Amino acid sequence: MSNMNSPAALKQTGYYRESLKNLLLLSVLAMALLLPAASWADDEPYKIDKADKADKVGVEEKLGQSIPLDIVMRDSHGTEVRLGDLIERPTVLSLVYFECRNMCPMILAGKARVFGKLDLTPGKDYSLITVSFDELDTPETAAQAKKDYLNAMGEGKPFPEDQWRFLTGDARAISRLMESVGMRVMRTDGGFSHVAVLVVLSPKGKIIRYIYGTTYLPFDLKMALTEAEAGRVSISARRVLLYCFSYDPEGKRYVFNVIRVAGTVTSLSAIIFFIYLVRSSGKRRKEMGMDIDDE
C-alpha cells in the first residue's frame, strides 16, 4: 500500500486539485456566457421583434453569380429593354425607388458625384443602371429622376444620357432581379426599408462586388470596374464592418451590434483561456511526472 504522505502522492494530489480548480473556472465561465443571453431574451422581447424585422431587410451577397440577362424592363422613355442588351461593359447597378425621400436620393446623389469626377469614359469603360424595386414607379418618374441626377453631376464634361439608364418593371421582373443580387426590402407605410448598396457587374452580368453606403470613393469604384472588366470577384472590405453593425429599418441606418460583438469577444476569450489552462496543466503534469520518476 502506497504512502499517502509521500512526495509523489502529495504532488499527484496537488495536480488533481489544480484540475478540479480549472474545471470549476470553466463552469463559471460557461454560466457567464449563457446567463446574459437568457436574461436578454426574457427581459427585452422588443429587441427580438426588431431583429426579426431586420431579417427582412438586407443583402445576401451572391458574388460570382450572374443576374438574369433576359429580364425585360422599361426605360425612361417607356421602351422595353432587355438587361443583357444594356450590360455590354462593366456596369454599376443601383436599386432604389423613385418616390423615395430618404435614403434613395443620397444613394443617387453619391453616385452622381463620384461618376461625375471619375477619370474613366462612360460608354467605353463603364455604364450605369438604376432600377426601381417599386412596381408602382413609372417611366415618367424614372425620366424625372434621370433628369435630376444627370444635372447633379455638375457642369464638367457632359455625361452621355444613354449611359445611365433608369428602369422600371413589373413585379415579376423586379423580383427576379432582386433575388439574383440577394437584396431584401420591406414595404412600410412611408415607402420601403432597404439597404444602401451598389452592385458592380461584369460585361457578362456576373456580380463582382457590393459597395455599401451613400458616399463612394473614386478609387473604390475605379478598382471595382477594373476587376469587373477582368471578371475577377472581389469581397467588399465593408463586409467585415457589417458583422459589427446591423441595419435598423425603422431608423434607416446602421447601428452598432453590441451583443454580437460582445459575444464574439467573450467566446474568443473563453477559447484562449481554455487553451491556456490545458497547456499549463499539461506542463505541470509533465513536471510532476519527472519529479516522481526521480524519487
Q: Answer yes or no: do 82 and 221 share one domain.
A: yes
Q: Answer yes or no: do 164 and 208 share one domain.
A: yes
Contact 142, 107 (CB under 8 A): no
Contact 173, 72 (CB under 8 A): yes
Q: Answer yes or no: do 228 and 186 share one domain.
A: yes
**Which pLDDT score, from 0 to 100, does residue 8 have?**
53
Domain count within the chain: 2
Residues of the chain with confidence (pLDDT) below 70: 1-55, 155-157, 236-270, 273-274, 276-295
**Which pLDDT score, from 0 to 100, does residue 237 have?**
54
- pTM, two decimals, is 0.65
* Pairing of β 80-82 and β 191-193: unpaired
Range of the domain at 284: 7-52+257-294
Q: Is residue 250 part of a domain?
A: no
Q: Is residue 14 part of a domain?
A: yes
